Amino acid sequence: MDTPQSESHGTSSGPVRRLLVTGISGNLGARLAPLLQGFDLFSADLYAPPSSTSAGKFFLLDLSTTVGQSAVGELIEREGIEAILHLAFVIDPVQTGILDPQRMWRANVVATQKLLETVAACNRSSTRVRLFVFPSSVSAYGPDLPPFVGEDAPLAAHTLPYAIHKKVSDELCRRFHPTLGGCAVYIYRPHIFAGPTVNNFILHAMRGRASGRGWLARRAERQRWRIPILLPAFSKAENLIQFIHVDDMARVLFWTLTNFAPCELKIFNLAGSGPPVSFVECARMSGTPLLRIPGETSVSLLLKLFWNLGLSGVPPEALPYFLGSYTMDTSRLRSELGRDYPSVIQWSSRDAIADALKL
């Protein structure tokens, strides 16, 4: 992959005003939008945001296509965008309707690369785009980690396409940074989003909800069936995980817009305060039964069957992420936020998942 070469640059000072948010129509975008009233906001997404979302000047763009990627690049140059929050990413293929693996790769990885190339081109003679923020993911580290990994731990995602795409995009942001002509790059690696408005496939499973789009899922929802969580017989479900409340994530992004260090590359793990929560505790909190089946292979085959029947939106490749422990050290973020930490990170991991499961 060729990357553009940097030249000498001047940097502008003062707060950023003209802001682009990709993925504004997603859950995080909807929680972030009310915080952005003081910015000249431009936004883009595959789907139009709800009328309740203050999306600024919105552009309907499909970033999985070359047309959409070119259009967002032209938007950045034409509108004099100073900061980019790149939230657009296919996390749940069923909810977004992007089930084709190659299209998912283009929407996630290729679109991220094209945005970075646009920033490099815009900043070739002077620093016009001053900040690029990318929410990566804990999943980029892989599904089974030593306790409380730091930001320097290797990224070893495998199996699950979403996790692999986050890993590669994370690496792209770091690789491109020296070529971006003075643009600061902030990479956040959040743990699992939680909150009452969040509907990712992990929370669907913990809530015992059918998350597919087939007729069987619709019937399960009508009949209010409680779908058990499938685990191999050997699993005690004592693996530890953390959560980040989506509102805390939105506050972190807003904080970054007014507190970023010019030109720098910064990487932060992001999770709720307090201790992690075990998988079995999450199941107890939600009242969702755990169904243990002999052999990991049998569980994998059943997940594939439920996926193919349209009952479940849990990708079969996600099984290792349900079985492994993955916790992160977030002391770097706490130090960066300083006195602002309590007002930004308001939820513990336990309270965040409890807020998500109380529905």
94 HSE (CA, 13 A, CB side) = 22
Task: Quote the Cα angle for 195-197-202, to 5°.
Answer: 65
Burial class (CB in 10 A: 0-12, 13-18, 19+), 50: exposed
Q: Give the pLDDT of residue 12.
A: 52
Residue 94's pLDDT is 64
Q: Under 8 Å CB-to-CB from 330, ≥6 apart: which residues?
A: 268, 269, 270, 271
Domains and CATH numbers, the chain: 18-195+243-272+328-345 (3.40.50.720), 201-240+276-323 (no CATH)
pTM for this predicted structure: 0.92
pLDDT at residue 5 is higher than 70:
no
Q: CA 155, CA 134: separation in Å to the nearest integer?
A: 16
Which DSSP letter does residue 127 get?
Answer: B
What's the mean pLDDT in 327-332? 97
Q: What is the pLDDT of residue 2?
A: 40
Q: What pLDDT is attached to residue 13?
A: 62
Mean pLDDT of the chain: 91
Q: What is the pLDDT of residues 271-326, one digit of tens each?
A: 999 999 999 999 999 999 999 999 899 999 999 998 888 888 888 888 988 888 98
Phi then psi for 24, rounded to 5 degrees?
Answer: -65, -25
At 74-121, the pLDDT tens digits run 999 999 999 999 999 987 776 677 768 899 999 999 999 999 999 999
